[in-house]
């Protein structure tokens, strides 16, 4: 087992046998308590959570942390074993194998990323959905690798990770890349570049010189002290921290209590067409209609139109337990429509997403699991029940951002079907307009006029 940069919880009485069985070098291993007990409180040293100890007492008299049990329960009779990461890894003579070209705006952001890496600064990169954030990072990653720095890219979910991994590997083909998530069977090793889901940060200690945190404004990172604590533990004291976000409004508030040295904004997509602005469609009683297996009329018309357009489309629907109903209604009404449902609890979601991507289906009906990080070319998006509380402003911006991501179809259709118009809906639309305006003002867009296909959209 490679323990360098990691912290592994081990029971006190099993330390020696663990070191022996894992063939570790006992002299270089540091030990620290998993929990700190102060008076009537316990603090977890993995997630930072503080709790009243009497509520979390085990039958053996020890205390456990209830907040980070998804990584395996830790308790006060365990210690972390940790081995320091080398101060520097060997500097790598790396050649970036990505052959694409950046727009001048992407280059400007890319220079800021490199600067943040070299100066170990904290940078916030606001880039709209489809701005080409990953490509903007490449030069910064290259600069870090050349210096022997260790980089970690933390993303919110497995789907995003699985899409990102081949892109990073393609860009840095000679680099050993370790990819860690909840159920991955990949064995941890000391690689210069690590990709992980955000929760995995909690298994590291003073490990990274550069941390890139994707979608910092979104679930699970936002308002989650556990993940913020883990991030602070996982990065070295002197390190660069690059936060990525597509919804600047949310982040602007957060920066009040985070120290960000620099902020760089990219309001335009890489293909220089504006973001697709959602249109609102009044759909009274959408939930009841779906429960009664009726197709809301205007929603049905839109599905019909999507089929006539001939492009694949996503339908977002907020309630998992109605998904089957919705799929049944659609299949009855549109027998030729090839569709599948996929939700966060679907075991085959990775396969289904892949099938949609390669064109085996016309339509994927989903909850919010596909709203960020995944790119399907040429799609349109319908959100049935956009007034549901699950659809926050940030989620709606991300959902709208699934459309028009590629130059092959930079416009697409985005429609929100609602019963009661919400603040989140209004603000998401406003923010998209503001960003488009900003991009247009800066001369970053080629489409100064709405594309003809968008003009067809009814605006309510
Ligand atoms: Zn904890």
Answer whether 25's CB lies under 8 Å from 212's CB.
no
> Cα-flanking dihedrals φ and ψ of residue 368, to 5°?
-90, 10
Binning pLDDT at 50, 70 and 90, where does residue 448 land? very low
**What is the Å distance from ligand 1's center to 65 Cα?**
5
Same domain for 331 and 288:
yes
Query: What is the domain-level CATH number for residue 395?
Result: 3.40.50.300
Tell me what pLDDT residue 255 has.
Answer: 46
Residue 386 C-alpha to ligand 1 middle, in angstroms? 35
Share of the chain above pLDDT 70, in %: 93
Q: So what's the pLDDT on residue 248? A: 58
pLDDT, one tens digit per residue, over 401-436 is: 988 888 888 888 999 999 999 999 999 999 999 989
From 221, 238, 266, give the residue that closes a domain. 266
288 and 261 both lie in a single domain: no
- 28 and 168 in a single domain? The answer is no
Question: Can you tell me whether residue 86 is helix, strand or coil?
Answer: coil
Based on the domain organization, do 115 and 76 belong to the same domain? no
Are the CB atoms for 308 and 334 separated by under 8 Å?
A: no
Residue 457: pLDDT band (50, 70, 90) is very low
Q: Of the candidates 213, 234, 266, which is a domain's last residue?
A: 266
Domain of residue 56, residue span: 7-83
Q: With a threshold of 0.85, does the pTM exceed it?
A: no
Same domain for 136 and 255: yes
- Decide which of 218, 235, 266 is a domain's last residue: 266
Rounded Cα distance, 98 and 112, in Å: 19
1 or 255, which is more confident: 1
- Ligand 1 center–CA 43 separation, angstroms: 8
State the burial class of residue 95 (Cβ atoms within 10 Å of its Cβ: 0-12, 13-18, 19+): exposed
* Residue 460, pLDDT above cutoff 90: no
Q: Ligand 1: distance of its center to the CA of 237 in Å? A: 21
pLDDT in tens, 3-38: 999 999 999 999 999 999 988 887 889 999 999 999
CA 202–ligand 1 middle distance (angstroms): 9
Q: Say yes or no: 118 and 262 in one domain.
A: yes
Task: Please give the distance, rounded to the nearest whole angstrom, from the Cα atom of residue 167 to the centre of ligand 1.
Answer: 33
Tell me how far the alpha carbon of residue 75 lies from the centroid of ligand 1, in angstroms: 9
How far apart (Å, rounded) are the C-alpha atoms in residues 121 and 210? 9
Residue 88 lies in a domain: no
Q: How far is the CA of 85 from the centre of ligand 1 (A)?
A: 23
Task: Identify whether 153 is part of a domain.
Answer: yes
Task: Measure the CA–CA gap between 247 and 262, rounded to whole angstroms.
Answer: 17
User: What is the arithmetic mean of pLDDT over 340-346?
Assistant: 85
Q: How many domains does the chain have?
A: 3
CA atoms within 13 A on the CB side of 10: 22
CA of 196 to the centre of ligand 1 (A): 19
Say whether both 28 and 79 belong to one domain. Answer: yes
Instruction: Reduce the DSSP state of residue 360 to 3 states and report it.
Output: coil
What is the rounded average pLDDT for all residues in the chain?
A: 89
3-state secondary structure of 185: coil
| Whether residue 309 has pLDDT greater than 50 | yes
Residues 444 and 298 in one domain: yes
- Strand ranges inside 267-384, DSSP E: 279-282, 313-316, 339-342, 363-366, 380-384
Please, what sign has the CA dihedral across residues 322, 221, 347, 363?
positive
Q: What is the pLDDT of residues 282-294, one digit of tens each?
A: 999 999 999 999 9
Please indicate, yes or no, whether residues 293 and 232 belong to a single structural domain of this protein. no
- Tell me how far apart the alpha carbons of residues 254 and 458 are, in angstroms, rounded to a whole number: 35
Distance in Å, CA 17 to ligand 1 centroid: 25
């Amino acid at each position: 087992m490679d323990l360098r940069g990691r912290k592994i919880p081990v029971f006190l009485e099993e330390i020696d046998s663990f070191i022996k069985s894992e063939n570790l070098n006992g002299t270089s291993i540091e030990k620290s308590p998993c929990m700190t007990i102060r008076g009537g409180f316990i603090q977890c040293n993995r997630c930072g959570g503080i709790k009243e100890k009497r509520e979390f007492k085990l039958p053996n008299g020890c205390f456990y942390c209830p907040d980070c049990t998804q990584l395996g329960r830790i308790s006060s009779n365990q210690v972390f074993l940790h081995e320091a990461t080398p101060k520097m890894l060997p500097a790598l003579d790396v050649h970036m194998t990505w052959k694409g070209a950046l727009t001048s705006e992407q280059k400007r952001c890319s220079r800021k990323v490199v600067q943040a890496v070299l100066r170990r600064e904290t940078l916030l990169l606001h880039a709209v959905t489809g701005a080409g954030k990953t490509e903007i990072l490449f030069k910064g990653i290259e600069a870090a690798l050349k210096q022997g720095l260790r980089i970690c890219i933390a993303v919110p979910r497995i789907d995003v990770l699985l899409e990102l991994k081949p892109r990073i590997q393609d860009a840095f083909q000679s680099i050993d890349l370790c990819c860690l998530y909840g159920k991955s069977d990949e064995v941890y090793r000391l690689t210069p570049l690590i990709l992980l889901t955000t929760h995995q940060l909690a298994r590291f200690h003073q490990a990274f010189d550069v941390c890139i945190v994707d979608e910092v404004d979104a679930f699970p990172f936002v308002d989650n002290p556990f993940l913020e604590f883990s991030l602070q533990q996982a990065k070295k004291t002197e390190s660069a921290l690059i936060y990525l976000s597509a919804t600047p409004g949310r982040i602007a508030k957060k920066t009040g209590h985070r120290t960000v040295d620099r902020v760089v904004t990219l309001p335009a997509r890489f293909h220089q067409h504006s973001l697709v602005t959602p249109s609102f469609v009044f759909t009274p009683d959408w939930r009841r209609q779906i429960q009664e297996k009726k197709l809301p009329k205007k929603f049905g018309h839109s599905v019909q139109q999507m089929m006539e357009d001939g492009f694949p489309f996503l339908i977002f629907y907020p309630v998992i337990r109605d998904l089957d109903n919705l799929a049944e209604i659609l299949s009855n009404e549109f027998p030729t429509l090839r569709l599948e449902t996929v939700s966060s609890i679907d075991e085959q979601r990775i396969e289904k997403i892949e099938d949609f991507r390669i064109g085996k289906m016309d339509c994927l009906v989903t909850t919010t699991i596909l709203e960020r990080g995944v790119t399907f070319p040429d799609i349109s998006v319908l959100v049935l029940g956009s007034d549901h509380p699950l659809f926050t402003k940030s989620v709606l911006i991300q959902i709208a951002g699934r459309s028009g991501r590629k130059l092959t179809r930079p416009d697409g259709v985005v429609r929100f079907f609602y019963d009661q118009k919400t603040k989140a809906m209004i603000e998401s639309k406003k923010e998209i307009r503001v960003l488009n305006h900003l991009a247009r003002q800066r001369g970053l867009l080629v489409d100064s006029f709405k594309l003809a296909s968008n003009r067809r959209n009814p605006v309510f």
